[in-house]
Amino acid sequence: MNTLTVKPLATKIHFDDNTMWLELTDGRQLGVPLAYFPRLLNASPEQLEKHTISGGGSGLHWDELDEDISVASLLLGKGDIHASRTSS
């Protein structure tokens, strides 16, 4: 049996005061609280807009903020792994 698996990829990112919104290739829109990512939470609106969608849509990168996020991790509900390590 063959099963077609579509890997959702990011096509666009935008922000409101508390949330990062991703538009995905499969038509979904995913909202992620900025609180999950302290670097993004503390960034200026200008810094947030200086992002790159990398890997054909599988990753998100902010060079100025030194932040890299996997779209697959967001879909699994994972936040900043570095923040959880430093808070323990």
Q: To the nearest whole number, what is the mean pLDDT of the chain?
A: 88
pTM of the model: 0.82
Q: Are strands 59-62 and 10-15 parallel, antiparallel or unpaired?
A: unpaired
Rounded to whole angstroms, the Cα distance separating 86 from 88 reads: 6
Burial class (CB in 10 A: 0-12, 13-18, 19+), 60: buried
Q: Does 6 have pLDDT greater than 80?
A: no
* 80 Cβ contact list (under 8 Å, min separation 6): 36, 37, 38, 39
- The hierarchical CATH code for the domain 10-86 is 3.30.2020.40
Domain boundaries of the chain, sorted by first residue: 10-86
CA 36, 86, 70, 8 torsion-angle sign: negative
